[in-house]
Structures are given as C-alpha cells and as structure tokens.
C-alpha cells in the first residue's frame, strides 16, 4: 500500500512540475511577442526623431516608460539606432526622463534603467546630466540598482563622479562586493591617472572594499606612483589581512631591492601572527628574485610548510628561480612527503 501512495505522489509531483514548466514557457513566449510588438512601435517613433524636432520624444511616450516592458522596449529600439542618434535621443530628453524615473518608486525600473543607460554612449557628454540620478540609485536598498548605477557611472568616463560615488558610499557605511568593484573600475573609460589620483586623495576614508578595489585597480593598470603610500599602510600592525594581500600582490609586480626587503619582513610578521594568506602571496612574489641566496633558503624552508598554499607557492617560486641537485637533496632530506611531491611537480612543469 505504501508503494502505491509513493507512486501516486511522484506522479502528481511530476505532473505539477510539467504544468508549471508549460505555463511559464508560454508566459515567456507571450512576453517575447509582446516585447517585439512594442519595440517595433518605439522603433518607428524613434526613427521619426531627428535634428529638425530636436530629437524630442512625445511626453506621453516618456511617461509610458514607468512600465517595465515599455522601458525594455524603448532601449531595445534605441539600440537599433546608430550611436550618434542614440546619444542625441537620450541626451535631449534627459529632463523628462530623469523626472519620470525620479518620481517612480519601482526599484526594478531604477535598476533596469541604470543597466540600459551604461550601454548608451554618453562619454563625450560626461554622463549627459544623468550622473546625479545614478548617485541617487547608489543608496537604494537594491544591490542591482547600486551595481548597475556604478556601471553607468564608470561608462560616463567622469573621474570626479566615480570618486564621488566611492566617497559617498564609504561615508554612509554602505559596502559593496569587492570583485564587482574591481571589475567595474576596469570598465572606466576616462582618464585613468586622474581617477587614481582622486581616489588616492580619499584613500584613508574609504571602506575596506573600496580601498581594496582601488589597490587592485592600481595593480592592474601598473600605476606605481602611490607605492610609498601603500607600503606605509601595509607596515601598520592594524592593517586588515585582505588589504595586506592586495598590497602584497601590487608589490609582487615590481622587482626591486626595496620590495624584496618589505616582502621578507611581511612574511616574518604575518607568520608570527598566524595569517597564512599574505604569507602565501608574498612567497609567490619571491619567484622574481633568482639571484638571492637568502630568498632561496627561505623558500626551501617554506616548501615544507604545513599550509598547502604556502607550500605550493614556495615550490613554484623555487622552480622559477632554479634549483640545483643540492637544493633538492636539502628538501628531500627533511622527509616531508608533501614537500617532495610539491617540488617535484613544480620542477616538472618548468
């Protein structure tokens, strides 16, 4: 009897899942058809916008953008325009569009509007007046609105606007995903040195996520002008492990006697503090120093570390700077199976 109930339950469950799939699939198809139909109407409307009528869109059509599907259709039609016309339409109608979006409390509209705005070329207009609106969206209780507003701000190419966004978010204690911030800064289309300078001015006041994304940005863009400030920061005893890791990655990029001295000191300090992450990253950076006996001896000690990441990175750095038979014998003599495997694997890959 139990098996009969079990089979009936499973049959009902499968039928229910199938019904939901068919229903949602039909809704998706209906939405796609509806979207295409509205997009065609917007396309005809936008085709009639020209220099003669100052690229103005009728106010009733602007007001209709408070519906999500209309906003989606409007931007879909706008994308079919050439870049120059896109810019004229979105720029010349900014007052009515901004007024509409500001008065609309739908966070989905805000997030989607910011998402679409980043793909409109407003670089020469430095955002075309949409910057203050995007700054407002940063403080919405929606990660999508904040992330899309930041992407729009990066696309505008206005370094002052980006610095303003980081400053305001930090002052309000609003964190954001560090990876998204780092990737977002790389999308910035404007003056990179000017952006770096403005952000470094407020370095001390930034929340950790914004500070770390800035350090990563300096690293990716190979900007070394602020290394002294970063070294000063990483030398503090109260620096966070995550920020220290970002700075160490930056120091790893540039081989110098000064950077080597700092890396060796950081390895000692963080080992004593029991933090393996900065140690493993610093050890990886030692692979640049192939002419230093002190470095080689340190790596030979770290290759027998109990931490897998430190051991792996030490083995890779050793293989990179070159090991002799005597070096290998020194490592093998410690009878550490894992260290032996690590160095054999690293050397075999070279």
- Inter-residue contact 327 to 298 (CB < 8 Å): no
Residue 109 confidence class, pLDDT cut points 50, 70, 90:
confident
The pTM for the full model equals 0.84
CA angle 303, 305, 308 (to 5 degrees): 90
pLDDT digit string, tens, across residues 319-350: 999 888 888 888 888 888 888 888 888 888 76
pLDDT digit string, tens, across residues 183-200: 999 999 899 999 999 999
Long-range contact pairs involving 186-192 (C-beta distance under 8 Å, separation at least 24): 186/217, 186/220, 187/151, 187/154, 187/155, 188/154, 188/157, 188/159, 188/162, 189/123, 189/154, 189/155, 189/156, 189/157, 190/123, 190/156, 190/157, 190/158, 190/159, 191/157, 191/159, 192/221, 192/223
Question: CA 73 to CA 84: how far, in whole Å?
Answer: 19
pLDDT digit string, tens, across residues 4-63: 555 555 555 555 545 454 445 444 556 678 778 888 888 888 888 888 888 888 888 888
Q: What is the pLDDT of residue 19?
A: 47
**For the chain, what are the domain ranges?**
255-350
Q: Would you tell me how many other CB atoms lie within 10 Å of the CB of residue 260?
A: 18
Three-state helix/strand/coil letters over 184-232 = HHCCCCCCHHHHHHHHHHCHHHCCHHHHHHHHHHHHHCCCCCCHHHHHH
308 Cβ neighbours under 8 A, 6+ residues apart: 338
**Residues composing the chain:** 350
Q: Write out the H or E segment, with its range, that includes residue 54.
A: none
pLDDT digit string, tens, across residues 255-288: 999 999 999 999 999 999 899 999 999 999 999 9
Q: Which of 248, 217, 253, 213 is nearest to 230 (CA)?
A: 248
């Amino acid at each position: 009897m139990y098996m009969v109930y079990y089979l009936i339950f499973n049959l009902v469950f499968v039928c229910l899942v199938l019904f939901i799939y068919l229903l949602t699939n039909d809704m998706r198809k209906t939405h796609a058809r509806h979207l295409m139909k509205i997009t065609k109407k917007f396309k005809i409307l936008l085709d009639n916008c020209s220099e003669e009528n100052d690229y103005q869109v009728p106010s009733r059509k602007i007001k209709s953008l408070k519906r999500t599907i209309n906003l989606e259709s409007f931007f879909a039609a706008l994308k079919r325009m050439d870049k120059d016309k896109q810019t004229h339409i979105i720029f010349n109608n900014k007052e009515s569009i901004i007024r509409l979006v500001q008065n609309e409390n739908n966070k989905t509209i805000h997030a989607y509007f910011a998402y679409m705005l980043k793909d409109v070329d407003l670089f020469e207009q430095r955002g075309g007046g949409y910057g203050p609106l995007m700054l407002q969206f940063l403080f919405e209780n929606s990660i999508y609105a904040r992330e899309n507003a930041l992407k729009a701000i990066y696309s505008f190419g206005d370094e002052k606007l980006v610095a303003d966004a980081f400053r305001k978010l930090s002052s309000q204690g609003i964190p954001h995903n560090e990876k998204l911030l780092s990737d977002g800064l790389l999308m910035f289309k404007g003056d990179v040195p000017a952006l770096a300078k403005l952000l470094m001015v407020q370095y001390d006041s930034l929340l950790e996520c914004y500070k770390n994304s800035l350090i990563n940005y300096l690293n990716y863009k190979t900007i070394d002008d602020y290394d002294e400030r970063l070294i000063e920061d990483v030398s503090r005893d109260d620096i966070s492990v995550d920020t220290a890791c970002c700075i160490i990655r930056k120091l790893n990029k540039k081989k110098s006697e000064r950077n080597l001295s700092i890396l060796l000191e950081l390895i000692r300090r963080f080992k004593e503090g029991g933090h393996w992450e900065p140690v493993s990253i610093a050890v990886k950076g030692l692979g640049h120093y192939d002419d230093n006996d002190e470095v080689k001896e340190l790596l030979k000690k770290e290759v027998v570390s109990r931490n897998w990441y430190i051991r792996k990175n030490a083995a890779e750095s050793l293989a990179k700077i070159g090991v002799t038979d005597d070096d290998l014998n020194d490592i093998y003599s410690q009878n550490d199976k894992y260290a032996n495997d690590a160095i054999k694997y690293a050397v075999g890959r070279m």
